[in-house]
A = this chain, B = another copy of it.
Amino acid sequence: MRIYFTFEPRLELREPLVEEFPQVDFVFESSLSTEELQKADVLVTYGEDLNEDILQYATKLKWIFVASAGVEKMPAQAIADREILVSNVRGIHKTPMAESMLAHILAIKRALPWMYEQQKKSEWSKKGKQTELRDSTALILGPGAIGSEVGRLLQAFGVATIGCNRSGKEAPYMDVMVSFDKLLEALPKADIVISVLPKTTETTHLWNEEHFKVMKNNAIFMNFGRGNLVDEKVLIQAIKADEIGYAVLDVFEQEPLAANSPLWTLPNVIVSPHISSHSSRYVERSLNIFKPSLIKWLNGDIDLENIMDLSRGY
């Protein structure tokens, strides 16, 4: 059994893996070589180094473990034709992303951006506009794994959660659910609006002028889904017109965000350069998902966690 990693986990992560599975030959390289691919039974990859041509070398390959959530760049048909099992690290982003969202929300509520500026001036001032998160209401657009995790944390802070999805059907850690077509009615209650919606034709410009107009003018608007949700011109106009209190943006229509975008300099806008899911613990978390699957695999059990149907893209 030969397992080929096309990235190199840190030594302190590699060593326990090798020790735990003495029956496995592990190969760790910093990129993919066709020579090693030919010999591999299992491939562990971030999913961006495969294409149809390269896959022809993978004559022994039976399982690809993708240490990433997306598979847009993988040769789906070729993998399916060869009956190679693919599993991924679905759900790995929820912890760092939910922590990022809470970090931004609490930083705003407790006036940390102001506090950091005071410190630079060595100025002892108690005049920051601090308020509390408790007893707020948050509306979460797209309460899947990530949205529910942020809902769970918000509830721990005493926040009421309203989930919003297409059908309005129940989701974990949402006190109330509404469907997309009831969004405008629910929005005036929200102190925080968080979108974690994926990019689909349905979500493109789902959010428009009217949505900003019905929001509380001190509410926080957070887009941690995809930049297609709202036309940035509309967003910028709403911020300039003080229709909302704060915007925290992890995603943008065009990434990287152009250096001359007004979003960089508008007051009460936080630009997070699509890094809300980044974490120094990413590889560690991936291996924690990989290991139980590897144990199953070695026992001949192919009912692995997070098996993907590449033809459907998830």
A residues whose Cβ falls under 8 Å from a Cβ of B? 95-96, 99-100, 102-104, 106-107, 109-110, 112-113, 115-116, 118-119, 122-126, 128-134, 152-153, 156-158, 255-257, 259-261, 264-265, 270-276, 278-281
Contacts of A264 in B (CB 8 A): 119, 122
CB pair B274 A126 closer than 8 Å: yes
Q: Report the Cα distance A264→B281, complex, angstroms.
A: 31
CB pair B275 A133 closer than 8 Å: no
Contacts of A129 in B (CB 8 A): 280
Chain B, residue nearest A103 (CB):
B106
CB pair B128 A279 closer than 8 Å: no
CB pair A280 B153 closer than 8 Å: no
Contacts of A107 in B (CB 8 A): 103, 106-107, 112
Copies of the polypeptide in the assembly: 2
**19 A-B interface contacts by CB (under 8 A):** A95-B134, A99-B109, A99-B132, A103-B110, A103-B112, A107-B107, A115-B270, A115-B271, A118-B271, A119-B270, A119-B271, A126-B278, A128-B275, A130-B275, A130-B279, A131-B280, A132-B280, A132-B281, A153-B156
Q: Report the Cα distance A281→B278, complex, angstroms.
A: 34
Most B Cβ at <10 Å: residue of A106, A131, A264: A106
Contacts of A272 in B (CB 8 A): 115
Contacts of A128 in B (CB 8 A): 275, 278
Closest Cβ–Cβ distance, residue A251 to chain B (whole Å): 12
Closest 3 CB pairs of A and B: A103-B106, A124-B256, A156-B156
Q: Are A112 and B119 also in contact (CB < 8 A) when A134-B99, A273-B126, A279-B132 are? A: no
